Amino acid sequence: MALYEYVTRDQLSGFDKYKYSAVDSNPLSVYVMHPFWNSVVKVMPRWLAPNLITFTGFMFLVFNFLMLSFYDYHFDASAEGYTHVPSWVWVAAGLFNFLAYTLDGVDGKQARRTNSSTPLGELFDHGLDSWACVFFVATVYSIFGRGPSGVGVATLYYILWVVLFSFILSHWEKYNTGILFLPWGYDISQVTISIVYIFTAMVGVETWYEPIWWNFHYRDLFTFMILGCSFTVTLPMSLYNVFKASRNNTLKHSSMYEAFLPFLSPVLLCLLSSVWVIFSPSGILQQQPRVFYLMVGTAFANVTCKLIVCQMSNTRCQPLSWLLVPMATVVLLAVTGLVANETLLIYVWTAIVILTHIHYGVSVVKQLSDHFNIFAFSLMKPSTD
């Protein structure tokens, strides 16, 4: 695979000056998870590369997604009258989700323990986190599914977008303030969902059919928790932190246009995908929800990774991601009916988006590895012999 130099010389220079700065004030994280992670990292061998820990954790989430794709491809296995997902799958999903969360918490500690912290490690971690959003949401969806007591695929689509924008808010904050404020909702959601997976294995998906109170179902609680956390905690805290930096004259970007520029490509991506959903001649979201979610989540991750590169290198965010140009053409072909087989179109386009994002990721990792003279998945530096 031919590699392209996506990181500019100015950005490479910015990475040389980069210093990690983050604030984690979540009580669950500070008083429970960090002590647990400190214990875990002590038993890890020192030769284990932090980036390998990061990648392994990410692959647990991918495996969860693939496992549920096999047993519940169209998100209807949890509905009445369908063959339900085996209990052992929920047990595995809970364990893998918690392992992924744990490894995501210890990779940085391992880097500091082995004195191998680099900007590449942080970029690799956060880049995979941005892609993990879609795998996490789609896997959780299988608990409730799209049945009468589940969540509609269109509703889940918009919930996915709430999760994606909640993720990018943290990096938008850092782009403007220079400090990464870790969101409270992440730790709470990861622990809760891991428990819910195990609980589902014990009691069966039928438990979620029953209303909690009157006509208020568990699906409504699921939706309420995500929306409530995003709009009452994540969004207000992000706006407050940026506003506070503005008042203290520590904001990195003086104009409102420059400050909000990182949102242009994600908003355009949301609009393009929503146009496809709304005007699809064959109802593509109803026909292929899993593939559509994967396409949207991967395209979003690609856009977000470019913001993270700019944020870490202290360079200006580009207004438009080039991936949106061919996507606009694809959406036009779909909604106008110029391509009759919409299912084939979404599969082909999703494959292109995934390969494009992987190519971008591999290229950036290779560039930064060469720049810092390190191996991405090893503690050893390459030989100069």
| Residues labelled catalytic | 126
31-24-195 Cα angle (round to 5): 55
Nearest alpha-carbon partner for 158 in 337, 296, 313, 351: 296
Cα distance between residue 300 and residue 305, in whole Å: 9
Nearest alpha-carbon partner for 278 in 106, 158, 130: 158
CA torsion through residues 277, 283, 289, 291, sign? negative
Cα distance between residue 240 and residue 103, in whole Å: 30
